[in-house]
Structure 1
Amino acid sequence: MTLGRRLVALVWPALAVQLLLPLVLLVGMTAAMATPNRVVVQKLSQDVASRVYGPSYLGDAVGGRLDRFTECIAASQGSAIRGDYSPLERAISSPRLPSCDQGAGVVRELAAHGGSVPGEHDHKLEYSRYWNGYALVSRPVIALWGLAGARLVSFGLLAASVVGLWAAVRRRRGGLAAVALLAPLVLGTNLVTSPLAYTHALSLAAALGLAAVVLRWGNPVPRLLALTVLSGGLYVFIDFLTNPGLAWSLTAAAAVLTARRDETAWGRVGRLVCGGAGWAVGYGATWMAKWLIVGIHSGFGAIRREISEVGGSRLSGTMEGRVDLSPGAAVLKNWRTWMEVPTAGTLAGACLVLLLVGLVVGLVRRHALLEPLLLVVCAAIVPVWYEVLKNHSQIHAFFTYRSMAGAAGILAMAGATLLASRRVGSSRRHTAASEQP
């Protein structure tokens, strides 16, 4: 097979995924937005009355806070002051209500008027620059069971993703590696209590669950590349820019772990490239596809201005002195925020010890160090993300810190894989010796 044909065979499944994904997502969002608005706002009105809706921030039981500000916005995705949006227009423009404090009054008013209030619509209440894919899950669930149902469903999806990633890593590299990866996230962040603000639970479920899919089915390489593109695309569809650094690093690490024991060094490096580059392409291209759809529907001028203003702010906006643009400031802010979790210091120390012990054993026993080093590169994605999005990473450190715990878990897993390879090597030598006459 010629080089050109090999390249086509490698790339075409990923290209097909990327071209089809935005269309599939738009159809899915349109179906979700077909949920009757009057039913959604009626359920939200009941939640307002029973104080299930809001407040904007709530203690998370580990010294931090839960982001119900985002939950209140996401719960109303597709709801608008005036009701003449079609399901497709709701999917594209993403009309929403204000957040918890102001939103409660608007929800009551909408419920009293059957889902819409006569008058002019405030176009500032559209959130079209994101896919807002939370609504694919939450809007029909809220229509049936309200916010409590959305939180319960998000808890189930998050639990399934944790178990799925643990099982996938255990299958590939053993139980120690699986525990090392997940312990900092599960025990050292507010992951367990995140379903109390369901948007964050869905974001975490997407990050962990998609990494598990890549790890479980990421062979051969063309399929691996297609799955990493799918992972990035689905993540930007679901997420409100919550923990992309975590999702990216986990997907890249999963791609590295898909390598066979006898895979060549270049093959392992190629898998890292597939994981890192594939996810980035899927994330960026799927996000830009939403801008293209909005531009075709509403005109490119408004969306261009919105992206320019918000993008510039998230990259380097100082927010009147609240953001430190000096090198390393964003990483340090997230590190300090993570260390406010009572268990974080102990877990970070354990991760470092496991990594160092694994490296020492690998050097002494002459085990392959390439895979652990590639996993270190995967973990480095997190601080790079913090530094690129300095503004967002500092203002929202109370939830972006979770990516720091994920990076620590990847480093610990790197050490665990070396210890596991030592046991495998010892077992093989013992088996070979016992078979000798």
Structure 2
Amino acid sequence: MKQTVIQATKVFGLLVAFYLGLGLVAYWMPDHSVRRHVQQSLEKGDFQEDYPKAIIRELYDCQDSYTLDNFTDALILNQAVNLRSEGLSGILLLPRHDEGIYQYINLKGTITGSTEGRTVHYGRYWHGSTFFARILLSFTSYTGIRYLLYLFTSLLLLWGLLRLWRTVGGVTTLLMAVSLLLVNVYLMQFSLQFAPVLILALGGIIWLTYHPSSDATVLFFALGSLTTFLDLITVPSITLGLPLLALLALRCDSDFKRGFCTVVKVAIAWLVGYGITWLAKWGLATGLTGANIFADAYGQGAEWSRGGYSYIGEAISSNLGFLHWKYIVVALLILLVTAIFRPNKKGWVPAALFAIVALVPFAYYVIMAHPALHHAWYNYRALVTAVAGLLLAAASLVDWQRLIKSQNIHKPCPRKNDADK
């Protein structure tokens, strides 16, 4: 325990140094290149609609679940352009030009030098995505960044699924892939707002497939911290839930108590990393700039908690309403019926552990009920952990070796030499 705390402390120090260092790198990127590429994006019409639908609207139900968040992406670019407008304090306060509710107008105003509006700050977040955006905008436009995001996340998806196939088998890999498809994962691949948590979740899964037997506590601590750095509270819980499901599949624990202790330990590590990184940002920004970021954070927290527990039920039901239920129900029925005819008598332990992890997004909705309700059109993607957890729980009840003789189809537990390759 002591050694783990020491390692986590060292990792946290390195991560904070990396966050500030990346901010400095972004700060020193040439303004003229950033502005030129943002102007190109505006001229191409990349931001004419704040919340465009990525489908032919008349052909699909649940249209809002196919929505892109150009609104927040434009805000991120606005901050990237204005990062140097107030000196080095901009790294901590993140100034941006504001003329009203439409971020496209705000972004256009900052490029054209509009004298209307005002400068506002967004200092309670780390805004790691803004730092990366400014660095990339030195070389390409917003459209180019989208291509890069799609390419990078596609390669990560392919790598992650291949590693899962090699270490835990085809069934687990297929169910994880299906779960991602059922929350429209491909939309996350095109968004500065959504992509970071997907990248972190996939990165965590890939790391675990190479180190399945190592202590994962520090990894989850780091994932929690990196989530705070990069995410604007989209679906942060997937950087805990998806890697945790992968960890359980890799460990294939037959001892419920030991497996449950693992779940609790890494969840606490993630929460500590997540929370302490928020506190570090507020402390650094307040101490180095004189702005009272703690008061800002408290005010936003009070706004989110307005209404207390009254939002919880509606938040959960609204998010559940965005799922493709007919496909989920069919998949669960197939697995459960198969389990009746080919039961795995030892499968209840992993099934119970997967089911427990499936509750992670609901814990998130309880704590963050107000924003989860108002942003349900993208917060529903947190339910990928619930969908994958339930499907994996049902699959654990099936004796796959009796059902399918080929060991290449499903490996209930990874072979040690596979995991190390």
Same fold (TM over 0.5): yes
The 5 Å alignment of 1:79-98 reads: 79-80=81-82, 83-86=85-88, 89-98=89-98
- Which residue of structure 2 aligns with residue 434 of structure 1? none
3-state SS of paired residue (1:131): coil
Distance 1:211 1:95 in 2: 35
Give the counterpart letter for 2:297 in structure 1: I
| Alignment match, 2:306 | 317
Partner of 2:74: 72
1:261-340 mapped onto 2 (5 Å cutoff): 264-299=255-290, 302-314=292-304, 316-317=305-306, 325-338=310-323
CA displacement at 1:228 relative to structure 2: 0.8
- Letter of the 2:267 partner, please give it: G
CA contact (8 A) 1:75 1:135 kept: yes
1:206 matches 2:187: no
Match of 1:346 in 2: 326
Whole-Å Cα distance in 1 between the matches of residues 380 and 252 of structure 2? 32
Matched, 1:385 2:364: yes
- 2:247 corresponds in structure 1 to 255
Residue 167 of structure 2 is matched in structure 1 by 172
Give CA-to-partner distance per residue, 1:285-338, whole Å, 9 cap, x none.
1122111111111236x2122111111222x235xxxx9825422110101123
- State the identity %: 21
Distance 2:97 2:210 in 1: 39
SS at match of 2:186: coil
Correspondence list, 1:231-246, <5 A:
231-246=223-238
Structure 1 residues 263-272 or 136-145, which shifts more? 263-272
- Among residues 7, 19, 35, which one is paired with 1:41 in the alignment? 35
Alignment equivalent of 2:104, drawn from 97, 101, 106:
101
* Residue of structure 1 equivalent to 2:336: 356
Residue 113 of structure 1 aligns with which residue? none
Structure 1 residues 141-173: Cα deviation after superposition (integer angstroms, max 9, x where no partner): 122111011111111222123223323332332
- Counterpart amino acid of residue 409 in structure 1: A
Query: Counterparts of 1:216 and 1:306 in 2: how far apart (Å)?
Result: 41
In 2, the alpha carbon distance for the partners of 1:49 and 1:185 equals: 34
Tell me which residue corresponds to 1:114: none
Residue type of the partner of 1:69?
A: F
**Alpha-carbon distance change, 104 to 304 in structure 1, aligned in 2, over 3 angstroms:** closer
Cα distance per residue 1:117-146 (max 9 Å; x no partner):
8x89945x2111111111243212122111
**Alpha carbons 1:354, 1:412 under 8 Å: kept:** no
Matches of 1:327 and 1:76 in 2, distance apart? 33
The SS at the match of 1:189 is coil
Change (3 A) 1:38 1:370: same
CA distance in 1, matches of 2:163, 2:84: 47
Q: Distance in 1 between matches of 2:6 and 2:154?
A: 34
**What's the Cα RMSD here?**
2.9
Flag the 1:33–1:423 CA change in 2: closer, same or farther, 3 A. Answer: farther
TM-aligned CA deviation for residue 196 of structure 1: 3.9
Summarize the Cα distance change of 1:102–1:166 in structure 2 as closer, same or farther, 3 Å threshold. same
Following the alignment from structure 2 to structure 1, what is the Cα–Cα distance between the partners of residues 52 and 117? 31
Among 125, 128, 132, the residue aligned to 1:130: 125
- State the SS of the aligned residue for 2:185: coil
- 1:57 Cα offset (Å): 1.0
For residues 225 and 354 of structure 2, what CA distance do their matches in structure 1 show? Answer: 22
Whether the 8 Å CA contact 2:347–2:398 is kept in 1: the answer is no
What is the aligned partner in structure 1 of residue 22 from structure 2? 28
Taking a change above 3 Å as real, the CA distance of residues 120 and 218 of structure 1, as seen in their structure-2 partners, is farther
Counting matched residue pairs gives: 396
User: 2:191, 2:46 → 1: CA distance?
Assistant: 11
Runs of 5+ in structure 1 lacking a partner?
Answer: 1-6, 111-116, 339-343, 429-437
**Structure 1 position 189 matched with structure 2 position 191:** no
Unaligned runs of 5+ in 2: 408-421
1:433 — aligned with what? Answer: none
Give deviations 1:18-71, integer Å, cap 9, x for gaps. 233212211122212221223212211121122123421101216222111010
Conservation of the 8 A alpha-carbon contact between 1:256 and 1:275: no
| Counterpart amino acid of residue 246 in structure 2 | A
Q: By how many angstroms is 1:12 displaced?
A: 2.6
Tell me the secondary structure at the aligned position of residue 96 of structure 1. strand
Change (3 A) 1:365 1:51: closer
Query: Structure 2: how far apart are the matches of 1:179 and 1:193?
Result: 20
